[in-house]
Amino acid sequence: SQTIHQWPATLVQPVGSPLSLECTVEGTSNPNLYWYRQAAGRGLQLLFYSVGIGQISSEVPQNLSASRPQDRQFILSSKKLLLSDSGFYLCAWTRTGTGRRDTQYFGPGTRLTVL
């Protein structure tokens, strides 16, 4: 069966520090991968998605970036965190080529607090 992992579960970082959040999927090959941010009062915002290794589509211009160094690994990064980067970050996956119809499976999320 397929599983999706995210770490860390919680993170407290000072403003201006770097960020690296990791997401990995097991039990499937070549998934579509997604990063979302869930902020209070703002719903679920798609940040990045990837349909293959090295292929990243950015949805929202910001100081975050994403990378997909391996087939089932998706990383969210920042060189310098802002207070506004605080939130709950969710990773999700779908089967290849079926993103528009197939279920999105979500990870447990990372709670990021920037102080």
Partner 1 sequence: AQRVTQPEKLLSVFKGAPVELKCNYSYSGSPELFWYVQYSRQRLQLLLRHISRESIKGFTADLNKGETSFHLKKPFAQEEDSAMYYCALVSSGAQKLVFGQGTRLTINP
> Please, which residue, 6 or 78, has the CB nearer to partner 1?
6
Q: Where are the alpha helices (DSSP H) in 8-108?
A: none
User: Which of 1, 9, 14, 43 forms a contact with partner 1 (CB under 8 A)?
Assistant: 43
Task: List Cα–Cα distances, 37 to 21, 41, 64, 89, 98, in angstroms.
Answer: 12, 12, 11, 5, 22
Q: Which of residues 1-30 bind partner 1 (CB under 8 A)?
A: none
Give the largest CA-CA distance in the chain: 40
Binding part of the chain for partner 1, among 15-23, 35-43, 64-72, 79-87 by CB under 8 A, reads 35-43
Q: Which of residues 78-97 bind partner 1 (CB under 8 A)?
A: 90, 92
> Please, which residue, 10 or 17, has the CB nearer to partner 1?
10
Give the separation between CA 63 and CA 71, rounded to whole angstroms: 24
